[in-house]
Structure 1
Amino acid sequence: MDILETHAYDRRQRRNTSCLLFLSLFPFFLSAALYFYWWIPLSEPSLLAAAVKSAPTFSLALLVLSYNGGRSLVGVAGGLFFSVGGDCCLIWDELFLAGMACFAVTHVLYSVSFLSSHYSSHSSSSLSFFFYLLLWLTGGGTYAYLFPHLQKSHDSSILTPAVGVYVLLLVLMVTLALRTRQPLMALGSLSFIVSDFTLAIQHFKVVPNLEHGRLFVMTTYYLSQLLIAVGDVRAGTDEAAEFHKWKRS
């Protein structure tokens, strides 16, 4: 097989993989459409509401697991499954801390994945360090902004440090996602932090509930999970393609 044939074969493989991946995302798009059609946040908390809200994330978890196998359970697939738990818990206000704990585990698992050999390591430039610093300052500033409002909560002794740890894990996850230099991971992680910070300022009454606040939170949340899941699948398929190319050479 000469070089031109090899390149043509690789293009066909990438095109076929992309088409198959797009078709595999149909359950996500369908379940997300059903969620927004029924607008679950405005309904009474129930097991049905929890199932509808978590269905898009659950479909992404199964997708990543089917492509990348069991190893992804200690990585993006595992993080998505914990996100399903977080989605369900946040249906009930009294389970907010449990939901936050689930998403904290999600960020840990995403971070583990971004540090693995699944992603190529890149040296950081001075410009990258500037963005990392800006990201951490934003995270710290957001926590400082939330702090007085956390102190007013009836369970402030638990909530205040818990939110601090959560912000730390979230910003760490985003930093490691940016470090991979994968556009989908970068955009997905940034969308996640925007979603969480928007939710926080509304949940802790920093600002009055925005007119379309819930819509913005859920749109950016589903978008973040979609981009991270697709990015992880593509990283896995690229890794497999490189392995097969090496075997053919």
Structure 2
Amino acid sequence: MDILETDAYDRRQRRNSSCVLFLFLLPFFISSGFYFYLWIPQTAPSLLAAMVKCSPVLSLAALVLLYNGAWSFWGVAGGLMLSACGDCCLIWPHLFLHGMTAFGLAHLLYSLSFLSDRYSSLSSSSTSFFVSVSLWLTGAGAYVYLLPYLQKRSDAAILTPAVGVYVLLIIAMATLATRTRRTLTILGSLSFVFSDLALSLQAFAVIDPTEEGRAFVMATYYLAQMLIAVGDIKARSDFGEGVGKRKRM
């Protein structure tokens, strides 16, 4: 095949792969829709509520494992599983710290994944530098703003430093994501930051919790996890294609 035929073949392959990936994402879309349809009140924590809430993220973890193999357990797939554990914990208010710990570990696994060879080499462009600085300023500003509200809580001695560590982990994850040059990964990480910021404002009584606020938190959260998962699958696919092309040269 000449170059034009090869390019056309590659485009067809990518298009077919995208269609298959969309079909595999249907469990995520269905379970997410089921969650919003049931919209179980936060005042009624139960195992059913936990299962409904974490099922979309578990479906994404299964998808990443299917595409990328068992090694992804120590990367994005493992982060998704830890996030599902965090989802379950947050159903019960007294397990808030446990849930935050699970999400913090998830961000750590995401960060390690973004540092792997499958993602583009870290760039030092002016754009990535500006975004990184903006993220760290946002994280620091949010923590300083939340500090008086954290100190009013009965568990302030544990919660205050714990939130600080969590902010470091999620901002570090988002910073590494923005430097991968992968649109899905970048948008996913930023959506996660927005979701957690909105959640913290309600969880720590900065603003009154509302159904609209809860809907925003969950919509941006599910969107973030989906983008990160699909971004990881794409990164693995592109890396494999790149290796194959180098071997054929």
- Whether TM-score is above 0.5 comes out as yes
Cα offset for 1:42? 4.1
In the aligned structure 2, how far is the partner of 1:42 from the partner of 1:166?
23
Moved more, 83-92 or 39-48: 39-48
Other structure's SS at 1:141 match: helix
Alpha-carbon separation, structure 2, partners of 1:182 and 1:37: 32
Query: Larger deviation: 203-212 or 159-168?
Result: 203-212
Give the aligned partner of residue 227 of structure 1.
227
1:90 partner SS? helix
Which runs of 5 or more structure 2 residues have no equivalent in the other structure?
A: none
**2:197 aligned residue:** 197
Which deviations, in whole Å up to 9, do the C-alpha atoms of 1:192-225 show, x marking residues without a partner? 0000010001000011123511000000000000
* Aligned equivalents of 2:92, 2:210: Cα separation in 1: 20
Q: Percent identity of the aligned residues?
A: 63
Q: What are the superposed Cα offsets for residues 170-189 of structure 1, whole Å, 9 maximum, x if unpaired?
A: 00000000010111011100
1:134 matched residue in structure 2: 134
* Aligned partner letter, 1:243: V
Matched, 1:39 2:39: yes
**Contact 2:131–2:178 (Cα < 8 Å) also in 1:** no
1:153 match: secondary structure: coil
Q: Could you say if the C-alpha distance between residues 41 and 188 of structure 1 is closer, same or farther in structure 2, counting changes exceeding 3 Å?
A: farther
Deviation string, structure 1 residues 50-90 (Cα, Å, up to 9, x no partner): 00000000000000011011121111111000001001000
Aligned residues: 249
Question: What is the CA–CA distance in structure 1 between the aligned matches of 2:123 and 2:247, rounded to whole Å?
Answer: 28
- Conservation of the 8 A alpha-carbon contact between 2:42 and 2:91: no
After TM superposition, the score normalised by the length of structure 1 is 0.97
Q: 1: CA distance between counterparts of 2:48 and 2:230?
A: 27
Q: 1:222 to 1:41 in 2, by over 3 A?
A: farther
Residue pair 1:64, 1:229 contacting (<8 A) in 2 also: yes
Cα separation, 1, equivalents of 2:165 and 2:248: 48
> Considering only aligned residues, what root-mean-square deviation do their CA atoms show, in Å?
1.2
Residue 131 of structure 1 deviates from its aligned partner by 2.0
Matched letter for residue 208 of structure 1:
D
Q: TM-score, normalised on structure 2?
A: 0.97
Q: Could you tell me which amino acid in structure 2 is paired with residue 58 of structure 1?
A: L
SS in 2 for 1:40: coil
Is this contact kept in 2: 1:195–1:217, CA < 8 A? yes
Matched to 2:71, the amino acid is R
Answer yes or no: is the 8 Å Cα contact 1:43–1:49 preserved in 2: no
